C-alpha cells in the first residue's frame, strides 16, 4: 500500500510540471507580444510621416502678387520752387513713394505759400495738371510792360467777366495773370470795387508778386512795392 502512494505523487508532480511548462510557454508568448508592440507603433509613425510629406509636397503655396511700378522721369527736385496753376507758387518739400492696388509710384509733396496747403502730385500727372518751373527773369520783366498798359475792361456783366478772370488766374500762364492784375487794379481816387472784385484782384496780385519775387531774387514785400509803383504810374 505505501508503494502505490509514492507513484501517485510522482505522476502528480509530472502533471504539475507540464502545466507549469505550458503556462510558462504562454507567459513567454505574452511577453514576446508585448515586446513587439512598440515596433508596430514606430512603423505606424513612419507611415504617417511619409504621408504627411506627400501631402506637403502636393500643397502649392500661391506666389505673392507682383507690384507694378509706374516709372516716370523726375522733372523737379526737392526744395525747388514751382507753379501749380490752381494754387500758385509752391515749394517741393520732398519726394515720396506711394503704393495702392498693387501699383507703386512716386509723388511730389508740395507746400503752397499763399493757401498754406500741402498736396501730393504723382509724377505721371504733373504735366496734365500743368506743373511748371518759375518763369525766368527775362520773361518776367517782359510781363511788367503789360502792367504799364491801361486796363482793358469789357462791357459785360461782372459774373461773365469774373469767369474769364478766374480762368486766366488758374491757367498757369504768367502773361494772362498779369492781365488780370492790370485790369482789376484801382487807384485810391478811382471808383470803388465790389467785394468779389477786390478778392479776385488780391489773389491775382499775390500769385504774380510771389513769382516775380522768386525770379528777381527779391523779398515779397520788395516785389510788392515795385509792382504797385508801376501800376500807380500808368
Per domain, the residue ranges of the chain are 28-61, 68-133, 137-233
Q: What's the fold here for domain 137-233?
A: Methane Monooxygenase Hydroxylase; Chain G, domain 1 (1.20.58)
pLDDT tens digits for range 127-165 = 999 999 999 999 999 999 999 999 998 888 999 999 999
Average model confidence (pLDDT) across the chain:
81
Q: What's the fold here for domain 68-133?
A: Thrombin, subunit H (2.40.10)
Average pLDDT score over residue span 171-195: 90
Sequence-distant (6+) residues with CB within 8 A of 93 are 78, 79, 109, 110, 111, 118
Cell reading at 1: 500500500
Do residues 95 and 109 touch, judged by C-beta distance below 8 A? Answer: yes
Instruction: Tell me the C-alpha distance between 61 and 70, whole Å.
Output: 28
> Do 137-233 and 68-133 have the same topology in CATH?
no
Do residues 111 and 89 touch, judged by C-beta distance below 8 A? Answer: no
Average pLDDT score over residue span 77-83: 96
Is pLDDT at 166 greater than 70 in this prediction? yes
**How is 25-91 classified by DSSP, letter by letter?**
HHHHHHHHHHHHHHHHHHHHHHHHHHHHHHHHHHPPPPPPPPPEE------S-TT-EEEETTTEEEE
Q: Report which of residues 13 and 177 the model is more confident about.
A: 177
The model carries a pTM of 0.70
Amino acid at each position: 500500500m505505501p508503494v502505490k502512494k509514492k507513484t501517485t505523487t510522482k505522476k502528480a508532480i509530472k502533471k504539475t510540471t507540464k502545466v507549469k511548462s505550458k503556462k510558462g510557454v504562454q507567459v513567454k508568448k505574452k511577453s514576446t507580444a508585448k515586446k513587439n508592440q512598440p515596433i508596430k507603433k514606430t512603423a505606424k509613425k513612419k507611415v504617417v510621416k511619409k504621408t504627411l510629406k506627400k501631402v506637403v509636397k502636393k500643397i502649392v503655396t500661391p506666389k505673392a502678387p507682383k507690384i507694378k511700378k509706374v516709372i516716370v522721369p523726375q522733372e523737379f527736385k526737392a526744395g525747388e520752387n514751382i507753379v501749380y496753376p490752381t494754387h500758385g507758387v509752391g515749394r517741393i518739400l520732398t519726394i515720396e513713394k506711394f503704393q495702392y492696388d498693387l501699383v507703386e509710384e512716386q509723388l511730389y509733396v508740395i507746400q503752397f505759400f499763399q493757401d498754406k496747403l500741402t498736396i501730393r502730385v504723382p509724377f505721371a500727372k504733373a504735366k496734365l495738371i500743368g506743373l511748371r518751373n518759375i518763369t525766368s527773369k527775362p520773361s518776367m520783366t517782359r510781363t511788367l510792360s503789360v502792367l504799364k498798359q491801361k486796363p482793358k475792361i469789357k462791357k459785360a456783366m461782372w459774373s461773365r467777366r469774373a469767369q474769364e478772370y478766374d480762368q486766366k488766374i488758374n491757367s498757369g500762364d504768367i502773361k494772362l495773370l498779369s492781365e488780370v492784375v492790370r485790369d482789376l487794379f484801382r487807384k485810391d481816387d478811382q471808383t470803388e470795387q465790389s467785394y468779389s472784385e477786390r478778392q479776385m484782384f488780391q489773389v491775382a496780385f499775390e500769385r504774380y508778386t510771389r513769382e516775380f519775387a522768386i525770379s528777381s531774387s527779391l523779398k515779397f514785400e520788395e516785389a510788392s512795392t515795385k509792382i504797385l509803383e508801376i501800376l500807380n504810374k500808368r
